[in-house]
Structure 1
């Protein structure tokens, strides 16, 4: 029990520090995630050799394998950065098994999907409002019309207001997705680029070519761009900022500690009980 408490405290520290750096700098330092991953591996091995708890070892292995598989899928799809993958892997190693609760990590990941969807939607909305003055007149009219339709439909069909609002919000997201994505693109000076930044347009000069890729800029790409910068050929490049997802990990972790349950199932069960 004391071991689990220590692991949970370390997880809290990892997620808190990572959330702050991810939100402020849009990146998570490698030394931070690598340190916690290494500590997680050594800790779990030490615990196993001292307790021979095969159940713990198996579930930590399952959680770690699952986190790496999902993380790499999202990474190569261009949805997550490398820092997000490493944070998830570190979490699996630190709390893949907590207090005889084999499903703790799966509960955490399930809750993250729920929190992540809400968090991503709120982040999307904030980006939209922050750039509202740049929106065209036609788009403003379309958005206001949609909001009025959602409001009137909710009044007319009050028994289904939550379904109408959710459907309307999804329509609003799809209507503005491209515009919000474009508003998250900005020009950055080459010396300020970091590994993993998502390049929007290819950079070509002579034999030097840097192509956009789903996994972001590599060290070799940065070397080429810095060479062009020193030559005075390219000063800035257009990159796309990603959504800092680590804070959603932190919120999901806190909720999982509090409820120790799959929140989606809890919400569905509650709605069924309330429904006549």
Structure 2
């Protein structure tokens, strides 16, 4: 369908530009996110005149579902404003086809792909940062591993699986999972504390940074810890002469995960079939 091609091309262009901006500046322009939302709904409106209003309703439903999810993730401080707005735009692009059929699940498939590929991408990025900042990372990582609570927890889990393995032999294979989880959890925590939490000047703040400490001036809290929005940045810029530095946790440039997930949605089935063809 021509509509699908037009929406896909626009989405890919926006995702490529947004990924580049996120890599370079850790910030995605609002006009790009809002542009995707209005373009997707506008194009659907034009096509719906000839093809029926289900075309527009499909995009509106997709936008609404991802709007609710984006707000949830934003309130939980898992995503910044740019990620949330882009998710809404992708909801308008992908939509929920009406009447319901197998293609109506494309929105769900994209979201799960985003979470899965985003996790892999996030871990790869953390490994890159850990290698780049290996001195400060290793110091924090060793400190994490030396904690008696985590060692006791690891020992308890491993002992549990070993005991169960005496009853069911196949459970021996699962004994490695507590060890992997233990080191992975401590690795992620060490990277966040040593490489992502920083004291920076207000000039270097960007929308989406996580403020991990309240900003205090003259014994008053002028800004509570939160994900920074454009209004917060304006407020902090006004206090630049009074507040020298603030403590933030930098986020991972997550937008490339959107691009990977959308490519998976468009070509994943063909790639999976091709891979099975090679194996069998």
Q: What's the TM-score once normalised by structure 1's chain length?
A: 0.77
Q: Deviations over 1:160-203 (max 9, x none)?
A: 99966665432222223332111202222212323332222222
Alignment of 1:244 with 2:257, yes or no, is no
- How far residue 108 of structure 1 moved from its aligned partner, in angstroms, is 1.4
Equivalent residue for 1:107? 109
Structure 1 pair 185/140, CA: closer, same or farther in 2 (3 Å)?
closer
Task: State yes or no: 1:203 paired with 2:215.
Answer: yes
The superposition leaves residues 146-170 of structure 1 with CA deviations (integer Å, 9 ceiling, x where unpaired) of: 9xxxxxxxxxxxx999966665432
Counterpart-to-counterpart distance in 2, 1:138 and 1:222: 32
Report the Cα offset of residue 207 of structure 1.
7.0
Q: Which residue of 2 aligns with 1:28?
A: 28
Quick check: 2:211–2:227 contact (8 Å CA) kept in 1? no
What does 1:226-237 align with in structure 2 at a 5 Å threshold? Answer: 226-230=237-241, 233-237=242-246
Cα offset, 1:26, TM superposition: 1.3
Q: Which moved more, 1:34-43 or 1:187-196?
A: 187-196
Aligned equivalents of 2:225, 2:129: Cα separation in 1 = 24
Q: Secondary structure at the match of 2:104?
A: coil
- Quote the offset at 1:138 in angstroms: 7.5
* Cα drift, residue 69 of structure 1: 1.0
Change (3 A) 1:19 1:137: closer
Q: For the residues of structure 1 that align with 2:94 and 2:61, how far apart are their CA atoms?
A: 12
**1:138–1:77 CA distance, 2 compared to 1 (3 A):** closer
**Shift, 1:217, TM fit:** 4.5
For the residue of structure 1 that corresponds to 2:225, the secondary structure is: coil
Structure 1 unaligned runs (5+)? 147-158
Structure 2, unaligned stretches of length 5 or more?
155-169
Structure 1, residues 76-119: CA drift from partner, whole Å, max 9, x if none? 11110010011111111122258x83322222112112111211
Distance 1:39 1:186, change over 3 A: same
Highest relative contact order (Cα 8 Å, sep 6+), 1 or 2? Answer: 1
Describe the shift of the 1:190–1:162 C-alpha distance in structure 2 as closer, same or farther (beyond 3 A). Answer: farther
Q: 1:165 to 1:259 in 2, by over 3 A?
A: farther
TM-score, structure 2 normalization: 0.76
Task: Go from structure 1 to structure 2 and tell me whether the alpha carbon gap of 1:80 and 1:204 turns closer, same or farther (over 3 Å shift).
Answer: same
2: distance between equivalents of 1:14 and 1:245?
A: 14
